[in-house]
Structure formats: C-alpha cells, structure tokens
Amino acid sequence: MRKQAYDYLETNDRQLNEKYKLFKKGQTVVDLGYAPGSWSQVAHDRTSPNGRVIGIDILPVQPPKGVSTIQGNFLSPLVQQQVRDYVRNGDSGRSYPATEKLMTTAENEENGTKHMTEEDLITVEKSILEPEMAQEQEDKVVDVVLSDMSAPWDQTTGFWKRSLSDPYRRMMNTSGVNFRDHIGSMELCEAALDFAYETLKPGGSFVCKFFQGAEDKAFEKKLKALFAKVHREKPESSRSESRENFFVALRRKDGVSKGTVFTAV
C-alpha cells in the first residue's frame, strides 16, 4: 500500500515536470511538505549532479538519497527563517560595504564642516536602500519552490518512538469537508507564495497544490502579478472526482513589489 501511494504521487510529479520542464541540472529546489518524498526524488534526479534539493516537513520522514531536509512546521516564522538561512548559505556570501563617498559625507556632517547638498541627500538615501536591495538579491537563491503541503492527521500512536517510519498514516488527503479543505489549502499556498517571493530568483518557478473552491481565483491573480505564466493543472493520474489541483507558475518577474503581489485582486 505504501509503495502504491508513493508511485501514484511520483507519477503526478513526473507528469508535471515533463510538461513544464521545471527542473534543470544544477538548480536549487525547495520542497515544502515533501513527505513522502516523491517531488524531492524527481527534483533530485533532474538537478543532479550539482543541484541542491531541500525538503521541509512537519513529519519525521526518511528523505530520498541526496536530499537535505529540515523537520518543522513551515508556518512557524522561526522555521521559515531557518530555511532561508540554509538556502542562502549555499550562495557566494557576497558583502556590500558602504561606499567611501558616503562615509566621507557622514563624517563631514558629524563634524559640522559640510552642509548636505541635494547630491549628498541622494547618496544617503541610496546608502539606506542599496544594502536592503542587495540583501533581497542575496536571499533570492532558489530556482524552484514546490508546495505539496497539507495539514497532517493528529498523531495517536507511536509517541514512544523517536521517529515515525510510516508517515502515510498521518498524511492528509481530504477531511471530507470541501470548504475546510479548500480554505486550509489556500492558507498553505499563501504561506508558500510568501516564501517564494522572498527566495525565488527572477525567472524561477513555483508549484503549489490546492483544493478547488471560491478563493483560488483570487490566489491565481496574485500569481499572475508575480509570474509571466500561470497554469492550472490536474494530473492525468489524479482521480476524476478529486478536487486536488496544482498551480504551476513560471518565470518569476523581476522588480515586482510585495505589495503589488499580495494586494492583487
């Protein structure tokens, strides 16, 4: 049963990748809600030998070989920061020191020997904005963000174990309440998109699972504000009665503000 479930998920993931060519060699991929590891396996296969795949899940799961993982609740700001730090540390670590002109202007101003000209004000403004912009660029080191997150069933057994070898017992598909499943999935998609905004390179891709409902059109508009192409996909291997779908967003635009994305209606 466990192998059948894994094979089913992996088939879905490979279908989407084959259609949209999401992964390329050497890429950095973050897989949110990676258990049981089907997306991570596909991503690792396609990005090897020099790619990086990082999986995050609240469940303790044995990851596919070659995949790095962080166990924790992705909705926690602390866990999100840990993930950002982890992916950023793989970058070149460039620093952006203050310019000599700015330091001289600041020193002169402190000593009262020079009045601020319009040019000086522009320089000071740039000294404040440029490090922030540089930090934002330094954070954008991810090529693909995947989100297959869903709320797991409550754990009822196995508390004495240090880890759970069978995550399928707690992986949620649907609760049976359509509205609840839909709203829960959209909240997770919003969290994943926020993370993607902070870490995804221009030109990068974003994939998230959702359950259809009244709110998915509003979320689609947010995706269209940030990405050049946005597609809705229901994998061929998915059951016809299932409300499970995927958004596939391609080619992240550069220079789009966060306010523009998250207020898009």
Cα–Cα distance for residue pair 196/142, rounded to 1 Å: 8
Catalytic residue, chosen from 209, 217, 224, 234, is: 209
Compute the 3-state secondary structure of the chain and give helix, strand, coil in percent, each to the nearest 5. Answer: 45, 20, 40
Phi and psi torsions of 201, nearest 5°: -70, 155
Type of residue at 205: S
Cα–Cα distance for residue pair 224/264, rounded to 1 Å: 9
Cα–Cα distance for residue pair 92/143, rounded to 1 Å: 15
SS (H, E, C) 87-103: HHCCCCCCCCCCCHHHH
Cα–Cα distance for residue pair 231/47, rounded to 1 Å: 23
Known catalytic membership, residue 209: yes
Instruction: Give every strand in the sheet of 28-32, ordered side by side.
Output: 68-71, 52-57, 28-32, 142-147, 200-211, 244-252, 227-233
Question: Under 8 Å CB-to-CB from 37, ≥6 apart: which residues?
Answer: 6, 55, 61, 62, 63, 64, 67
3-class DSSP state for residue 156?
coil
List, in sequence order, every residue forming a beta bridge with 250; answer none if it has no partner: 229
The pair of three-digit structure tokens given for residue 55, joined into one six-digit string: 């999986």
Which residues participate in catalysis according to the annotation?
A: 209
